[in-house]
Every structure is written in structure tokens, then in C-alpha cells.
Amino acid sequence: MIALLTDFGLADTYVAQMKAVIWRHLPATPIIDLTHEIPAFDVWTGAWQLASGFRWLPPGSVTVAIVDPGVGTERRILVVEAGGRFLLAPDNGLLTLVLQEHGVKNVAVLRSDWPKRDEVAPTFHGRDLFAPAAARVLASGGIASVVQASAHAELPPMMLPTMPLREGKGWQATVLAVDRFGNIITNLGPQHCAGWRTIMCEPERGETVYFPVGRKFSDSAPGRWIAYLGSGGKFELARNQANAAANLQLKPGATVTLLPV
């Protein structure tokens, strides 16, 4: 299958045009949408959403990830083999988190003469470059047919830290993402929060909040705080049936200190 992740949204036909190009090359290919609701140009949120969805894709699948503020410039398009799967993405850090988890077997650059035609819109590489290249990778079962043999790529780091920093008995965490319910996903894993029962949360601004640590939302009453290890394997902060991120004024990239009490 081919999986798509973009910041295109669904109000326009951009996603449909990409799918049409893929099906033109490989009719009836299964295509799934990881998400097309990444905030416009938000590479960091795209990196997190890509990492959270990629691990569930089957071996041999091809993922096209496009959050690409530099479309039409000299920025490279990376073609990567990792975790028994393939990815295509701009070289702006979008792949950082998924490759930290799965490692890299091969990483190269899309050929400069791909595809061999003139109708490449400089504002829509998703349709004219990514989609046909993804179809070719899936059809061939590898990346060799679409990459420059000599253009092995250095993966650029993200601008935000991906590892928590020790802070006394706790951690200074980074907010990786905020989901549509307002739940705050941090970069703490189970190894960082083992044995926690209650935590003190100190955001960059605003008041200190105390969170009981539970396993599910209903471990706290509606409107009350709750912290837990989320389905993506990261420690999360929430208010049951309310928006924790809005209350704490936290956005992706923000830091927050979490201390067990």
C-alpha cells in the first residue's frame, strides 16, 4: 500500500489529484490517509504524526510525507528505506522522529531528472514528483530506480529537542503534539515516568498544576486533570472531556517541567 501524510487539508482537490496520479501508474493500489490535517507548514507536528502512524504500516509499504514550505526551491526530496518500509519526504526534518525509532537502511535523493517530462508544477511537487515516484518504488520494491546513485543524504536535525532533560527528580519535557481533544503529548516515555502516582506540572507560563497519574481518562472526573501513558507510548497530560492545552497555554515545541510528588 501507499500511505499519505500532508498539510493539504481536504477542502481542495490536492489529495485527490495525488491519488489519481498514483492510480494512473498503479491502478487499484490501496492508498490510506494517515492525515491531511497537519497545520500548514508545521514540520514538527508532521514529524510526530508521521512517527505515530508509520509503525502500524505493513512491510513493503511506501509512505509519502509532505509538509513542504520549501516546495519549488533547491531543497532535496529524500527517498528512504527504514524498518522494512519506504518513505519519501522533503529534507526539512520531517523524517527525524520516525527514523530515530526505526533506524535507516538506505537514504538517498530523488533523481533530478525525475520524472522525464516537463509538466512539473513548481508549487505542487506532491502530485508531479512524489506521487509517481512512490508508485515506482512500490512497483519495483526498492528505491534504486528513482534515486541518484551518488546522492546519499545527511538527514538534517529538527530544531526542537527530541530527548527530555533531567530536572531534579523529574524531567523538563518538550510538547511533541496536541491532539484534536487538547491532550498534550510529551516526549517522555515509560522509562521516564515509571512509578509516578502524582506529578507537579510547571508550564513555561501560568500556574503550577497537579496531575494524578492514571491509565485511562475515566480515572479522573469530567473536567479534572489526568496524566497517563498514551497509546503512542508517550506520557500525556489531559483534562477529562476538556481541553488541557488551551487551559495550560501549551503548544508543540513548548517545554514543561514534570516532577513526581
Mean pLDDT of all residues in the chain?
91
Closest CA to 198 of 221, 185, 214, 218: 214
Structural class in CATH, domain 165-260? mainly beta
User: What is the average per-residue pLDDT within 126-148?
Assistant: 94
The pTM assigned to this predicted structure is: 0.85
Q: Side-chain half-sphere of 65: how many Cα atoms within 13 Å?
A: 33
pLDDT of residue 136: 95
**The three cell numbers locating residue 133:** 515516484
pLDDT of residue 152: 58
> At 246, is the pLDDT very low, low, confident or very high (cuts 50, 70, 90)?
very high
Annotation: CATH topology of 2-152: Rossmann fold (3.40.50)
User: Is residue 143 over pLDDT 90?
Assistant: yes
**The three cell numbers locating residue 117:** 517530462
> Is the separation of the CB atoms in 227 and 215 below 8 Å?
no
User: Is residue 79 over pLDDT 70?
Assistant: yes
Our CA angle for 106, 8, 239, nearest 5°, is: 95
User: What is the average per-residue pLDDT within 149-160?
Assistant: 58
The structural domains of the chain, with segments of one domain joined by +, span: 2-152, 165-260
Please tell me the distance from the alpha carbon of residue 198 to that of residue 151, in angstroms, as a whole number.
50
User: What is the average per-residue pLDDT within 97-109?
Assistant: 88
